[in-house]
């Protein structure tokens, strides 16, 4: 009885929103074995169910909620899960991950995956409980902010332990970067999947479950788990872990400014003189009141802050991450930390991505400075750098798509198009997604990461901290001593194709298992051997004990996601960087003069990925080797495969 | 299960032992709930926090995160409330539920003001912390050292009282603002 492999709930939900029906289905054995979970299984489902004819905000798009075998399994950290679909912001592959407690709860409630199809005629929320699923009326929740929605659902079921994933007004109103908020503070932030949820008239997903999860061989799994945890506690990582526990990701503000790649003034430069005002020390000393952790996590990078008095005072709230401090801080030349807390919190409550919101506002501020837009365009708002009042108003206006907010609710790519003139020169995005808090002019490999990333200018698919923060032992072990010197040079493009390809493969598994980037990206503790160690005893998939099988699976997932984008028209031409990051040398700071050598890195990357260098498309042999013949046939039918 | 078991109380019957209990240092708890997972594995061989004997109470909007677990009271409210006499002290002086006599009525759950006892959603009988017979899995699983085993003498009582005080304060907070 039940699903063959353990560690999985064994069922997935196929929800027909048009008809208001939920279909409980058995998990597919092949999905688990070949694609593991999370991003891997999503890529298979999305490939099968959506394509060039799908419009992201039409009922044809699907929204997938996905967990992985490690979700809720006591692996540290095991609280992660993800969403995927086609992005309304970029029109291509979208995935967005979150920590917190929803993912495990969804599995304990009996489901590994949820696929939302169609569009409900009325606002609904999906309620999962002990193997059952039900669509429930959400009319009275529509329009509410995310925390109120969570409260209402818990109240409705008289169950304070229900875990939720909800959207806010931004996602309902069609802001292209609407996000999904998990419990109160965690966000599946990027690529606008909250807006996809909104377009389906789904306000929230709630889960409560007592079904639990089994392991294939519990004793062996716990032992493997302990071995992995022992790695985290190795003294090699002591200072990194101590920093994460004390500062969380806010530490990055200081660390990154030091190397000159903290996006400042809409990415004009990478050095912010006032970085101390928005950095780790002031937060830790003045505002931080508690440490928190996601489910089963021994790292504990989350924190709770409180602004006790003044205009921005509020009760305990989950703290902003590095990216939010960057987006609303250095990026907008805003050193008022309390306003950043406020802006970040408002974005969480309204349900929109802080990176895209902050970056789009920074973009508008630069257009204002350059005189490309003026008061007439903004409806009287003064968009001078660091004008906190204007930023606060804009965040509300974006969420409701009022006035000038309507334009900015579309993100920088579309806003630049609508504004015309030279506006495009200041739109810092790749494939439509605003750049996160990195800069390739100070850190070469970031350029490659941004350019090849399946969801746009985003760091979470292959960002390398190896050369950035210097982990010599790791570089030597992974790539060999002879490459150490070049790899460890943050400003050298040499061997970066190899590093980024390797890390992209690794993160594909991290995103499928599903675990956190802390412990994998920084500090770089877990590697491929982690998966060979823990997956077989947990799941019973003995194949996952074979390092080659694991590597192949990682590559398979990467290629399938890439192919999904190819089918939508992405080739080497789009795998590039915005003008500012490619052509304008870094003007100030420690990285002054820096520019990425993107073509050099791309060539190496395509070669190692098994892609054609001219087009970036996959080679037939590569797809065959990965068992992706169906991808080959589809692309070939569309005239997108050459015979190499 | 090959898990390291160090500190703790003697397992053997008849050994002279002091009463023990778990003490929680709330200031260290991050709310990760790993203790719940470890407890459920120990007692049910599954990952199932709903079957855990330690439960992490959360009111995130008020920054309340508090693991609650049986305090091994001197005058146990649960025992008093049990109509079938299912709750008794075992040979190690640990308050234990006898599943054969427990009828799952939940009187003990209502009686315990600390949330120290619960009904297992699968067996439908009362479950509570039994200190794992010596080395509690939750203590070992907590990466933040928020849980420890204390002896119920002077120091231990003080430590436990600290935890209870915190709890009362937090509950008080909830009441205040409700
Ligand atoms: S394991 Fe420790 S930190 Fe985590 S919830 Fe339990 S007591 Fe708190
Ligand atoms: S279950 Fe509650 S009342 Fe009973 S001994 Fe434990 S803490 Fe005291």
What is the tens place of the pLDDT at every residue in A72-121? 999 988 899 999 999 999 999 999 999 999 999 999 999 999 999 999 99
Q: What is the pLDDT of residue B10?
A: 41
Q: How confident is the model at residue B93 (pLDDT cuts 50, 70, 90)?
A: confident
Q: Which of A147, A183, A295 minimises the CB distance to B32?
A: A295
3-state secondary structure of A136: strand
Of B164 and A511, the one with more pLDDT: A511
Mean pLDDT of chain A: 96
Which residues of chain A are within 8 Å of residue B61 when distances are taken between CB atoms? 147, 184, 315-316
Task: Give the least confident one: A458-467, A606-615, B48-57, B80-89.
Answer: A458-467
Answer yes or no: do B32 and A316 touch at CB < 8 A.
Answer: no
Answer yes or no: do A290 and B46 touch at CB < 8 A.
Answer: no
- Is residue B39 lining ligand 2, measured as CB closer than 6 Å? no
Beta bridge partners of A11: A26
**How far is residue A206's CA from residue A134's CA, in Å, rounded to a whole number?**
10
Residue range A618-631: average pLDDT?
Answer: 96
Query: Is a pLDDT exceeding 60 seen at residue B172?
Result: no
Residue range B149-161: average pLDDT?
Answer: 77
Q: Which of A74, A147, A161 minimises the CB distance to B61?
A: A147
Q: ∠ CA A193-A438-A588 to the nearest 5 degrees? A: 145
Answer yes or no: do A185 and B34 touch at CB < 8 A.
Answer: no
The predicted model scores a pTM of 0.94
- Is residue B127 lining ligand 2, measured as CB closer than 6 Å? no
- Give the residue from chain A lying closest to B26, CA to CA: A290
**A295 lies within 8 A of chain B by CB:** yes
Answer yes or no: do A212 and B37 touch at CB < 8 A.
Answer: no
Find, among A459, A462, A425, the residue nearest to A439 by Cα. Answer: A459
Q: How far is CA A98 from CA A185, A514, A597, in A?
A: 10, 10, 33
Answer yes or no: do A213 and B48 touch at CB < 8 A.
Answer: yes
Q: What is the pLDDT of residue B1?
A: 35
Alpha-helical segments (H) within A480-628: 484-487, 496-513, 528-539, 547-567, 579-583, 598-609, 620-625
Q: What is the pLDDT of residue B5?
A: 39
Query: Is a pLDDT exceeding 70 seen at residue A394?
Result: yes
Q: What is the pLDDT of residue B170?
A: 57
Q: Give the 3-state DSSP-derived string for A298-346, with helices as H, strands as E and coil as C.
A: CCCCEEEEEECCCCCCEEEEECCCHHHHHHHCHHHCCCCHHHHHHHHHH
Which residues of chain B are within 8 Å of residue A315 when distances are taken between CB atoms? 61-63
Q: What is the pLDDT of residue A41?
A: 98
Looking at the CA of B118, which ligand is closest?
A: 2
Query: Is a pLDDT exceeding 90 seen at residue A470?
Result: no
Q: What is the pLDDT of residue A469?
A: 76
Q: For chains A and B, what is the number of CB pairs under 8 angstroms? A: 98
- Contact call for residues A83 and A64 (beta carbons, < 8 A): yes
Pocket, ligand 1, Cβ cutoff 6 A = B 29-35, 56, 67, 141-142, 144, 146-147
Answer yes or no: do B46 and A213 touch at CB < 8 A.
Answer: yes
Put simply, the chain B residues between 33 and 72 with a CB less than 8 A from any chain A CB are 33-34, 37-38, 40-41, 44-51, 58-63, 65
Q: How confident is the model at residue B60 (pLDDT cuts 50, 70, 90)?
A: confident
- Give the residue from chain B lying closest to A301, CA to CA: B30
**A2 lies within 8 A of chain B by CB:** no
Residue range A33-58: average pLDDT?
Answer: 98
pLDDT tens digits, one per residue of A14-30:
999 999 999 999 999 99
pLDDT tens digits, one per residue of A484-508:
999 999 999 999 999 999 999 999 9
The pLDDT > 90 percentage for chain A reads 95
Looking at the CA of B111, which ligand is closest?
A: 2
Q: What is the pLDDT of residue A77?
A: 84
Q: What is the pLDDT of residue B18?
A: 64
Alpha carbon A244 to its chain's center: 19
pLDDT tens digits, one per residue of A417-446:
999 999 999 999 999 999 999 999 999 999
B88 min Cα distance to partner chain A (Å)? 27
Burial label, B137 (beta-carbon count in 10 A; 0-12, 13-18, 19+): buried
Nearest protein Cα to ligand 2, atom 6: B70
Would you state the structure tokens that stand for residue A293, as one six-digit string? 């952790």
Q: How confident is the model at residue B166 (pLDDT cuts 50, 70, 90)?
A: low
Query: Is a pLDDT exceeding 70 seen at residue B8?
Result: no
**CB count, 10 Å around CB of A191?**
33
Left, alpha or beta for B132 (phi > 0: left; psi -120 to 50: alpha)? left
Beta bridge partners of A64: A84, A115
Ligand 1 center from residue B65 Cα (angstroms): 9
């Amino acid at each position: 009885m039940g699903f063959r492999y353990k560690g999985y709930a064994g069922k997935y939900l196929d929800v027909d929103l048009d008809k208001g029906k939920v279909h409980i289905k058995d998990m597919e054995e092949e999905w688990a074995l070949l694609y593991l979970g999370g991003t891997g299984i999503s890529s298979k489902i999305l490939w099968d169910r959506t394509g060039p004819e799908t419009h992201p905000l039409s009922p044809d798009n699907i929204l997938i909620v996905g967990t992985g075998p490690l979700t809720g399994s006591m692996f540290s950290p095991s609280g992660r899960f993800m969403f995927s679909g086609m992005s309304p912001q970029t029109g291509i592959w979208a995935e967005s991950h979150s920590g917190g407690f929803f993912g495990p709860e969804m599995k304990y409630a009996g489901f590994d995956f949820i696929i939302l199809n169609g569009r409900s005629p009325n606002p609904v929320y999906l309620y999962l409980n002990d193997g059952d699923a039900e669509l429930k009326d959400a009319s009275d929740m529509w329009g509410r902010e995310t925390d109120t929605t969570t409260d209402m659902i818990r109240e409705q079921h008289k169950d304070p332990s229900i875990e939720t994933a909800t959207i806010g007004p931004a996602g309902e109103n069609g802001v292209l970067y609407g996000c999904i908020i998990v419990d109160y503070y965690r966000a599946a932030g990027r690529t606008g999947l909250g807006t996809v949820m909104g377009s389906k008239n789904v306000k929230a997903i709630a889960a409560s479950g007592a079904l639990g999860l089994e392991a294939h061989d519990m004793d062996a799994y716990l032992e493997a788990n302990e071995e992995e945890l022992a790695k985290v506690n190795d003294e090699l990582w002591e200072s990194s872990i101590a920093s994460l526990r004390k500062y969380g990701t806010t530490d990055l503000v200081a660390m990154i400014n030091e190397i000159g790649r903290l996006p400042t003034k809409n990415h004009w430069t990478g050095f912010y003189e006032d970085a101390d005002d928005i950095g780790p020390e002031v937060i830790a000393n003045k505002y931080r009141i508690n440490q928190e952790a996601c489910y089963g996590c021994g790292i504990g990078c989350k924190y709770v802050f409180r602004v006790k008095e003044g205009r921005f005072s509020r009760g305990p709230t989950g703290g902003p991450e590095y990216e939010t401090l960057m987006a609303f801080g250095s990026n907008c030349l805003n050193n008022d930390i309390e306003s950043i807390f406020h802006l970040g919190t408002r974005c969480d409550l309204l349900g929109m991505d802080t990176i895209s919101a902050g970056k789009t506002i920074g973009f508008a501020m630069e257009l204002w400075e350059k005189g490309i837009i003026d008061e007439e365009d903004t409806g009287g708002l003064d968009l001078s750098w660091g004008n906190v009042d204007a930023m606060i108003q804009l965040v509300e206006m974006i969420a409701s798509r009022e006035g000038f907010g309507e334009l900015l609710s579309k993100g920088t790519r579309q806003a630049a198009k609508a504004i015309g003139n030279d506006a495009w020169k200041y739109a810092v995005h790749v494939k439509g997604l605003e750049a996160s808090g990195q800069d390739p002019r100070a850190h070469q490999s970031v350029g490659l990461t941004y350019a090849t990333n399946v969801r746009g200018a985003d760091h979470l698919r292959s960002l390398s901290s190896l050369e950035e923060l210097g982990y010599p032992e790791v570089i030597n072990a992974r790539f060999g001593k002879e490459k150490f010197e070049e790899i460890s040079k943050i400003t050298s493009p040499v061997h970066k194709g190899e590093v980024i390809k390797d890390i992209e493969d690794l993160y594909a598994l991290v995103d499928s298992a599903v675990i956190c980037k802390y412990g994998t990206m920084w500090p770089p503790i877990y590697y491929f051997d982690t998966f060979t160690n823990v997956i077989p005893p947990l799941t019973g998939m003995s194949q996952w004990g074979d390092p080659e099988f694991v590597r192949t699976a990682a590559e398979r997932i990467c290629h399938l996601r890439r192919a999904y984008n190819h089918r939508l028209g992405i080739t080497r031409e789009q795998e590039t960087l915005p003008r500012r990051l490619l052509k304008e040398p870094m003007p100030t700071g420690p990285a002054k003069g820096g520019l990425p050598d993107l073509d050099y890195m791309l060539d190496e990357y395509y070669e190692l990925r098994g892609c054609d260098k001219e087009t970036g498309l996959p080679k037939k042999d590569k797809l065959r080797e990965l068992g992706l013949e169906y991808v080959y046939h589809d692309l070939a039918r569309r005239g997108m495969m050459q015979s190499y | 299960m090959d898990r390291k078991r160090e500190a703790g109380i003697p397992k053997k019957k008849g050994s002279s032992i002091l009463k023990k209990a778990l003490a929680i240092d709330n200031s260290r708890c991050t709310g990760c709930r790993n203790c719940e997972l470890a407890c459920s594995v120990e007692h049910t061989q599954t990952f199932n926090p709903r079957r855990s004997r330690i439960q992490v109470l959360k009111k995130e909007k008020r920054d309340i995160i508090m693991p609650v677990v049986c305090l091994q009271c001197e005058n146990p409210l649960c025992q008093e409330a049990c109509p079938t006499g299912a709750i008794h002290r075992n040979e190690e002086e640990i308050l234990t539920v006898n599943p054969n006599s427990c009828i799952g009525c939940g009187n003990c759950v209502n009686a315990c003001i600390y949330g120290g006892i619960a009904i297992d959603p699968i067996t439908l009988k009362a479950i509570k912390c039994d200190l794992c017979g010596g080395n509690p899995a939750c203590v070992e699983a907590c990466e933040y050292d928020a849980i420890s085993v204390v002896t119920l003498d002077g120091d231990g009582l003080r430590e436990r009282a600290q935890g209870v005080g915190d709890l009362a304060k937090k509950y008080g907070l909830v009441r205040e603002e409700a």
